[in-house]
A and B are shown apart, each in its own frame.
Chain A
Amino acid sequence: MRAWSRAGQALLLVGPALILLLAVYLYPLARLLLLSFTGGPDGAFGFGAYGRFLESTVYTSVLLRTFRISLTVTLVCLVLAYPVSYVLSRAGSLTLRVAMVFVLLPLWTSILVRSYAWMVLLQNNGLINQLLRRLHVIDAPLRLMYSETGVVIGMAQVLLPFAILPIFASLRNIDPRLPAAARVMGAGPWRRFRSVTLPLSLPGVAAAGLLVFVQALGFFIIPALLGGSRVITLAMVIESQVVDLLDWSLASSMAMVLLVVTVLLVVGFDRLLGLDKVWV
């Protein structure tokens, strides 16, 4: 009896969100799934769209590039985020509050605004190239815009907070007595970090990596604006299939492949580390 009312209460609480998700997410997703199987000649049911997607070297190279960029962005984010998180985890409460505002600030700025800002910085006559030439570091401008480099820089900047927060949380959660104990036992700073702090923060690093990678896979605006026609990612191809070529079933099959890969990654992560560790 009590168990039932408890379950009923839980259902009542998650109900509204559940209905919303079913209506605006699961239903369209199901339609999308169906659509992806209608890519045969004359809209016949089958794997036709998947065949067209995966047999075309153009599209598979786009898929590969999307993964390559996402992976690079993930690595860049992790490398940049770890030291920041480490400093934040040891900061006093005032420093921490101010620093957190700076970490989160980009999230409150429109991604479009930030993309155009990066264009100003990265283009051939942009601020970075001008500065480097002024300092005689380079003779010819670096190709930062319309290249994977530019896309990676832009995406890494946008996704950095998603890497900092989980790593920060896991570092903050380490009992300060553990490095202290290592210290009494004769471990210097480097050994304390390598043997105690780093391994204990790895679940946070893995969570950060997953969060960044999965988001990067579906990025559209930044690659479109900073990469242009030279750095085409899967999201851009899907957009052009829908908007320009009206090949909805091919677009659906691409979206499905992206979704399946994402789900596999999340499940694999859960098996390996346990998703419950992500936010502890």
Chain B
Amino acid sequence: MSRSLVSLVRVSKTYGRTVAVNHVSLEVGEGEFVTLLGPSGSGKTTTLMLVAGFEQPTGGEILMRGESVVGRPPEKRDIGMVFQSYALFPHMTVFDNLAFPLKTRRVAGPAIAKQVEEALAAVRMSGLGGRYPRQLSGGQQQRIALARALVYRPSLLLMDEPLGALDKKLREEMQGEIKTLQRELGITTLYVTHDQQEALALSDRIAIMNGGDVIQVDSPLALYERPATEFVAGFLGDVNLVEGVAAETDGNLARIHIVDGPEVVTLDEPSLSPGKRVRLTIRPERLEIWTTAPAVLNAWPGRIREAVFHGELVRYGVEVPSRVVLRVTRPFRGPDALLAAGEEIWLASRPEDWRLFA
């Protein structure tokens, strides 16, 4: 990671007895895109407001470029912010909205016009400077809000669920644009969302938050592949969760008996010993369906209980003896490959795709 621009050191925020943010530590590197991801009430927006300066921490330190900014008001922090509601000034034209931060910085008139034009071009909204926000569509307003937060080249860009108000298609389109723009400008970004897909698509690193705590901070790939807790595993993507009892370990592989289910071979873990109860997860797309018995370590006979067609993929519920039902996601390869409820199949999985939680 490059030099850190923002550091949160054991930052807490309590309202009376309610703990909104609990000893959160986080580094955001220069030019990095970091996302705070969590369910509502997890403290992600409060954390963003602490970084913005709208709220002051009740404990800990917030540093920007190594300097404490606790107590410094938002207007003196050199940040740009995109709000979920866009917060465009309704009584100003697009041009005046973008010129506003430049005017507060006493940029000269001709330079303002030039910078505004550049920012509008960057979000592909050139020529709309004379419009009022109410004359723009939601997606256009979103672009203008982004341009307004970037036009003065702040050192840090904060975004609070900026795509929350857009429909799915537009949201995905904007994700691509935000990512491209962020990379081109190299602007350090702290992003808040409850949408895991958005977080995975945009971020260099994601901080998963729950109940005011940061649970795990890592790259999207690492979080998806090596979730530190069951919560992370379940929140980022989908998982099957089963309980089991360790039967046999050899330092390399472990054999675990799934409660009401078959035996599964997983990678061994130091904490594992025979007789120990564990919780296991596997992602639905890591389970394979075979029509004949495959020659792999984990191959179980099963029966399709339900099949739901989603277009690009199909979701199955597969029952394995004696009565564990696992969710399986397979790409849709054409109507011939579609399985119907009641069909007898084989379910296969690799030991390294199972995760163990104590």
Contacts and interface: CB of A to CB of B under 8 A. Distances in A.
A266 to B, nearest CB: 23
Interface in B10-54: 52, 54
Nearest to A179: B87
A81 B53 CA distance: 32
A55 interface: no
B91 A200 contact: yes
B79 A184 contact: yes
Contact of B100 (A177, A195, A200): A195
A187 B104 contact: yes
Interface residues of A, number: 17
B76 to A, nearest CB: 8
B80 interface: yes
B49 to A, nearest CB: 10
A101 to B, nearest CB: 28
Interface residues on B, range: 20 to 34
B74 A184 contact: yes
A188 B80 CA distance: 15
Contacts of A181: 81, 83, 87, 89
Contacts of A184: 52, 74-75, 77, 79-81, 158
A177 B148 CA distance: 14
A174 to B, nearest CB: 10
Interface in B123-166: 148, 152, 158
B176 interface: no
Interface string B93-126: 0000000110011000000000000000000000
Contacts of A199: 91
A182 interface: yes
Interface in A149-203: 175, 177-178, 180-188, 191, 195-196, 199-200
A61 B104 CA distance: 49
Contact of B104 (A177, A180, A191): A191
Interface in B52-81: 52, 54, 73-81
A183 B87 contact: no
A175 B85 contact: yes
A16 B324 CA distance: 70
Contacts, number: 57
Most buried by B among A175, A183, A191, A200: A183
Nearest to B105: A186
A146 to B, nearest CB: 45
B331 to A, nearest CB: 42
Given A180-B54, A195-B100, A186 B87 contact: no
Contacts of B85: 175, 177
A178 B87 CA distance: 5
B81 A178 contact: no
B267 to A, nearest CB: 48
Nearest to A174: B90
A181 B52 CA distance: 11
A247 to B, nearest CB: 50
A196 B88 CA distance: 11
A191 B104 CA distance: 8
Contacts of B80: 184-185
B54 A185 contact: no
A186 to B, nearest CB: 4
B255 to A, nearest CB: 57
Contact of A186 (B83, B104, B148, B158): B104
A102 B79 CA distance: 42
Contacts of B54: 180, 183
A199 B89 CA distance: 10
> Which 7 A-B pairs give the minimum distances between C-beta atoms?
A185-B101, A181-B87, A186-B104, A177-B87, A184-B81, A187-B104, A183-B74
19 contacts: A175-B85, A177-B83, A181-B81, A181-B83, A181-B89, A183-B73, A183-B74, A184-B74, A184-B75, A184-B77, A184-B80, A184-B81, A184-B158, A185-B75, A185-B101, A185-B148, A186-B105, A186-B152, A188-B104
Given A186-B105, A200-B91, 17 more contacts: A181-B89, A182-B89, A182-B104, A183-B54, A184-B52, A184-B77, A184-B81, A185-B80, A185-B101, A185-B104, A185-B148, A185-B152, A186-B78, A186-B101, A188-B104, A191-B104, A200-B90
